[in-house]
A = this chain, B = another copy of it.
């Protein structure tokens, strides 16, 4: 079946207006949006490429979900309330079933958080998805990477290592089975409510997309501080613990990406307010370490202190 570009947008992605602040949505040269007076606009953009960020044959509904989720996660990491989103979809050829499923995954998540798809582009080419998401946040309450302070507690939402385990399973590198790990990899839940609740409360915040070690290192470098993580405090699900035990790959939860949890720091004197705030989270949250004056990232484990190089996942390796 061949579909014209305009029909494709109309048929699979256009829907009744959702938000009062969208003056013009899909269909003109630009979307027209009414920003909230006195607020900052938070903007992020992420691309998922087949074969790099997801395996060929990935369930299109999950892909629609994930392509939006990773951007909502960036907004959450800034403390922003998501508002509008644009989608640039490049596909080899229009396939009705694939598009229906992709649009369903995308729209379900957008609806859940009241985010409106206001624009984008559909083009022919190798499968690739770029999503640009916008949100609003008070300038003073926004969560910047550079705001961690010596003595801050380091916190992590949800759990760690499941997405990494999911990837190992899909790549056939382990014989373990774990539907929850596959689900975490393919349908990450962005911590939108946690991020919104943390605005004006947490100091620094980042979302864990490239691995906890790499992402926390961004906070440390931007803030000019160091940290020690406590292995025993890391929220490792039992499937991840079993994987580590049987495969001996103990660094995986720190190095693997795609968990899309929030890692944030809280001033020592405000840490006792956090449990009350967590009532508004959509997930659990635990203290995993402390910000220190001494630069670098360290791990307390089995009575010793290990130095963690900030490796994580980079799209272009720095060494061949």
Contacts and interface: CB of A to CB of B under 8 A. Distances in A.
Interface residues of A, number: 77
Interface string A1-14: 01111111000000
Nearest to A44: B30
A144 B35 contact: no
Interface stretch (A114-122, A162-170, A292-300): A114-122
A125 B126 contact: yes
A47 B315 contact: no
A213 interface: no
A317 interface: yes
Nearest to A53: B123
Interface string A205-234: 111000000000000001000000000000
A105 to B, nearest CB: 20
A77 interface: yes
Count of identical protomers in the assembly = 2
A314 interface: yes
Contacts of A246: none
Interface stretch (A56-64, A80-88, A174-182, A236-244): A80-88
B119 A43 contact: yes
Nearest to A123: B47
Contacts of A290: none
A97 interface: no
Given A126-B128, A316-B94, A31 B51 contact: no
8 contacts: A4-B318, A5-B315, A7-B318, A23-B40, A47-B90, A50-B125, A90-B128, A122-B315
Interface of A: 2-8, 23-24, 27-35, 37-47, 49-53, 74-75, 77-78, 80, 84, 86, 88, 90, 93-94, 118-126, 128, 130, 132, 134-135, 137, 139, 142-146, 205-207, 222, 314-320
